[in-house]
Every structure is written in C-alpha cells, then in structure tokens.
C-alpha cells in the first residue's frame, strides 16, 4: 500500500501548474514545489489550475479545475461519457499526437532502463488504426445497484467507483447495444445483482464478445454464487438478441479479486464463436485471450511474422500462444510449430483451430512457458525460431536464462508494456541485437502501446 500523507495545507490549495509531458497512464505531468504532480486530463504545454487531491512521499495527485493556456493539440472529449472512466485517457488529445506519445513512451522506457545499444534502436513511427472509434470487439462491464438504480459500465482506474456507460465511443456498436439490452432484460426478469457491500450473490459482470468476420456474439454472465434466480430465463432471452449464438455462466466468489472466477459452464448455444484473421479461422471460447481490435490485429500479426526470418526446416515456438493465432498463421512457412499456453480452454481452442485450418504441423501444449520450454530443450527439440507475446508482466527471468542457453536464431517479442519490455531487453541485449521496434496502435484513445521487436543473435 502506498503511504498517503494528509497534508491539510497542500490539499486545500488550488495551484497553477505548467504541464511538461504525458505520463504512462495518460495523465499530464508537472511540478509543484519541485515535486511531481499527476493531473489527468491535462496536456503538455498547458497551464492549468489544479486542486491537489492527495500527497504521497514522492508525488502529488491533482484534479484539473480549469485550463488557463490550452494546448493546440487538445480536441473535444466525446459527449455523454465521464472523462474519469477507464479506456478514454487520451481522448482529449489529437490522434496524430496520441501516435507520437506512444512512440515517445517506448523511447522513454528504453532510456530509463538503457538496454545495450538502445540509442541505435530503430523505433519506427506508430502505425495508426484506421478506426479510432467503435473498434473494441469485447465489452466487459460491471453491473451494480445504487439506491435502486442499476449502473452498468466501467470502474474509474484504480477505484471502485462504477460509471454508467449509456454510450462508450470506443466500443463497437453491436457489443454496446448487446450490453444495454442485457441490462434491460435483467431488470425485467428481476435477476438479482451482486451486492459488493453486503456480499449478496447475483449477476456481477456482463461480458460480450463479437467475432468480426462472422458477427457471432458470445455472452458470459459472471455471477457471484451459482444458483441465481431467473438466470436460465435471462440466458434464453439473450439468445434472441441479434447475432448472439452462445451464453455462458462464469462463477466467482467475494474472496476472488479477479473479475473472472474459475468455473465456466455453457448455458445455451454454441461452444465457441469463430473469427477470421488473415484468411485463417479462429474458434474462441470465453476464457481465451483474443486481441480487442480486429482490424489492427491483422496489421500486428503481419508485422510480427515479417520480422521472423523463417525457413522451411525451422521449429517455431509460439510462446504465450492464446488460441494459436501466430503459430497457425506461420505454420506453412516452417517444419513444425509448438505453442505453449497456460489456460486449458485456450489450448483446446488452439488444437481445434489447427484442425479448422487443416494444419498438420502445429501442436499446442498446456503449461507455463518457463516450465515447458526447458522441457522441450531437454527432450532435444530444436528451437530455431521463437515468438513471445507475454502479458504485461513480461518474461520471467528463468525463461530468459533458458533463452541464453538455447539461443533461437530468429526471435520476435510482442509486448503490451514498454516498461517490462525495456527491462527484458536489458538482459536479452547481452546476446541479441535489437534491430527494429514497431509500435502498432491497437487501442486508440488509451495510453496503451503494442510493440513488435525484431531480435537477431549477435
């Protein structure tokens, strides 16, 4: 827990701050009495009046009150949605500047951790998304009741305050409409809503995912507790909504800090929805990871596979493989693909996707990359080519140690977190040259980055 100081003096004050830059979470950064202050919604070059809302040993948190001098790059924030909501942290910044920010973010992480030769890395301009609005194919909204009013939406970052989202400008229209329709149906059927204050069972989260190619929609109702009054009736009504082909229930309990619980069961409809990327089909079950912006996913994968110099005799390891996307797309260029993934449902989807695409040379193994990769090496499997696409935490040190022994000839690292990427490159750059870093904008209006890095053995 961060220690918070209750300095009455500072917190009562309105202060004037000149914003110097944007932080990794999209906030404006300035200084007050030599201490760094984070002000969400403020932009570089702006002079703002802010209220200090919290003081910590090394920084201050501020709230934007008024802009005295406005940035030329400020644009109107979308109407009908609270700026505090997560997912729109950069929506007040012009799109070309968002792209610059994402590149600068990578450069800043590199200069903070300075992996070997980082000054010479070629960090290319961020590839823009053709659709900057309504691109998200998955909505995961929390539902709560506040004094008899039902709220369906997202929490503000780092808070438990839920914001109602009658509109969400980055969400695809179909997923947004399905969320709102389910909210109405749940109210009509008086389905109990989970109560986080009194710990009462009920519906907690509504997840709606749509496959872009087939338009099929999969709904998952995350509940606290199993037997929820009228849930089967709700599922039946949901199946009648446009494009919905499957409804699942995922069960959690109040002890679990994650959104999803461990038990997932189909209530009605198909097991999976089918999407298509670069001509290959991908079946997706509710727990399986799939990128949120389908148009940019094709660009991201194209860039990643271009960076891998594959040859027909290669064994390619698709590490952190999800439903097998990257390996399946590369399978016809190599001798064999071995994918590694922890989530059993995702591995089952990957095996299914291998068959769906009539691929004969790809296999997916369930387990952690840290554990499975050394086992493959011990069993004499040649690791010629490697693609890693880890979660935000980056690569485990033990995995990097294994890579030092195995030294795959060609290696691509896809990262959604420049900070852990730069830290991993500090170690990897001892044996690899970093040739190119490409940033693909997967999530416009947010500060999130997605980088593809080409590494070649020294």
Give contact residues for ligand SAM (rule: CB under 6 A): 289-291, 320-322, 325-326, 340-343, 346, 368-370, 389, 391
Give the shortest CB-327-to-ligand SAM separation in angstroms: 8
Give the shortest CB-157-to-ligand SAM separation in angstroms: 20
Pairing of strands 315-319, 336-341: parallel
Q: State how far Cα 234 lies from the chain centre.
A: 29
Q: Nearest-CA neighbor of 383 among 373, 393, 392? A: 373
Is 355 annotated to bind a ligand? Reply is: no
Give the shortest CB-271-to-ligand SAM separation in angstroms: 18
Q: How many CB atoms lie within 10 A of CB 57?
A: 9
Q: 138: exposed, middle or buried (C-beta count within 10 Å: 0-12, 13-18, 19+)?
A: middle
Q: Nearest-CA neighbor of 389 among 296, 282, 305? A: 305
Q: 179: exposed, middle or buried (C-beta count within 10 Å: 0-12, 13-18, 19+)?
A: buried
What are the φ and ψ backbone dihedral angles of 240, each rounded to 5 degrees?
-85, -10
Q: State how far Cα 194 lies from the chain centre.
A: 25
Angle at 369 between CA 364 and CA 374, to 5 degrees: 100
Query: Which residue is catalytic, options 85, 91, 365, 416?
Result: 416
Is 14 annotated to bind a ligand? Reply is: no
Burial call 64-101: b when 16+ CB within 10 Å, e when fewer: beebeeebebbeeebeebeebbebbbbbbbebebbbbb
Give the shortest CB-274-to-ligand SAM separation in angstroms: 15
C-alpha 251/C-alpha 263 separation (Å) is: 5
Select 342 or 456, whichever has its Cβ closest to ligand SAM: 342
Give the shortest CB-390-to-ligand SAM separation in angstroms: 6
Give Cβ neighbours of residue 408 (< 8 Å, ≥ 6 apart): 317, 383, 384, 385, 386, 457
C-alpha 387/C-alpha 49 separation (Å) is: 47
Give the shortest CB-169-to-ligand SAM separation in angstroms: 24
C-alpha 30/C-alpha 16 separation (Å) is: 10
Select 39 or 326, whichever has its Cβ closest to ligand SAM: 326
Select 320 or 432, whichever has its Cβ closest to ligand SAM: 320
449 part of the active site: no
What are the φ and ψ backbone dihedral angles of 176, each rounded to 5 degrees?
-65, -45
Pairing of strands 336-341, 362-366: parallel
In the 8-state DSSP scheme, what is residue 373?
H
Give Cβ neighbours of residue 318 (< 8 Å, ≥ 6 apart): 324, 326, 327, 330, 337, 338, 339, 340, 387
Is 389 annotated to bind a ligand? Reply is: yes
C-alpha 191/C-alpha 249 separation (Å) is: 14
Give the shortest CB-294-to-ligand SAM separation in angstroms: 11
Give the shortest CB-131-to-ligand SAM separation in angstroms: 19
Token pair recorded at residue 249: 């229930």
Is 313 annotated to bind a ligand? Reply is: no
Q: How many helices (H) and strands (E) does the chain have?
A: 10, 23
Which stretches does DSSP call E strand in 216-345?
Answer: 217-224, 244-252, 263-269, 273-277, 280-284, 315-319, 336-341
Residues with a catalytic annotation lie at 416
- In the annotated binding site, the residues are 291, 320, 341, 389
Annotated binding site for S-adenosyl-L-methionine: 291, 320, 341, 389
């Amino acid at each position: 827990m961060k220690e918070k100081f209750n300095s009455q003096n500072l917190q009562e004050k309105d202060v004037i701050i000149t914003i110097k830059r944007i932080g990794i979470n999209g906030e404006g950064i300035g200084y007050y009495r030599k201490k760094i202050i984070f002000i969400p919604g403020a932009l570089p070059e702006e002079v703002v009046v802010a209220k200090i809302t919290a003081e910590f040993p090394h920084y201050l948190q501020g709230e934007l009150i008024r802009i005295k001098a406005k940035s030329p790059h400020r644009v109107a924030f979308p109407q009908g949605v609270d700026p505090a909501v997560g997912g729109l942290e950069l929506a007040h910044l012009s799109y070309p500047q968002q792209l610059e920010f994402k590149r600068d973010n990578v450069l800043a992480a590199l200069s903070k951790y300075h992996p070997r030769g980082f000054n010479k890395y070629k960090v290319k301009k961020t590839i823009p998304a053709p659709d900057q609005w309504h691109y998200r194919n998955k909505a995961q909204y929390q539902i709560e009741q506040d004094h008899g009013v039902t709220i369906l939406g997202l929490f503000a970052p780092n808070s438990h305050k839920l914001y109602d989202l009658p509109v969400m400008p980055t969400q695809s229209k179909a997923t947004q409409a399905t969320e709102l329709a389910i909210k109405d149906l749940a109210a009509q059927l008086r389905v109990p809503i989970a109560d986080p204050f009194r710990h009462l069972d009920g519906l907690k989260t509504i997840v709606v995912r749509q496959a872009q190619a087939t338009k099929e929609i999969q709904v998952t109702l995350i509940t606290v507790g199993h037997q929820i009054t009228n849930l089967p009736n709700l599922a039946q009504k949901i199946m009648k909504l446009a494009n919905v082909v499957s409804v699942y229930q995922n069960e959690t309990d109040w002890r679990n800090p994650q959104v999803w619980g461990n038990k997932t069961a189909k209530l009605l409809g198909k097991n999976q929805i089918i999407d298509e990327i670069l001509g290959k089909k991908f079946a997706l079950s509710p727990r399986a990871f799939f990128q949120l912006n389908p148009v940019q996913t094709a660009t991201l994968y194209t860039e990643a596979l271009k960076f891998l110099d594959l040859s027909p005799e290669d064994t390619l390891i698709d590490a952190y493989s999800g439903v097998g996307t990257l390996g399946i797309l590369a399978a016809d260029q190599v001798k064999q693909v071995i994918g590694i993934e922890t989530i059993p449902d995702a591995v089952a989807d990957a095996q299914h996707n291998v068959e769906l695409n009539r691929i004969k040379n790809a296999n997916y193994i369930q387990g952690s990359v840290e554990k499975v990769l050394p086992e493959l090496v011990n069993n004499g499997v040649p690791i010629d080519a490697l693609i890693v696409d880890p979660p935000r935490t980056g690569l485990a040190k033990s995995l990097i140690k294994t890579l030092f022994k195995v030294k795959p000839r060609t290696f691509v690292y896809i990262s959604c977190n420049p900070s852990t990427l730069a830290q991993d490159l500090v170690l990897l750059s001892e044996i690899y040259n970093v040739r190119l870093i490409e940033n693909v904008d997967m999530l416009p209006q947010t500060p999130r980055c997605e980088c593809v890095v080409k590494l070649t053995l020294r």
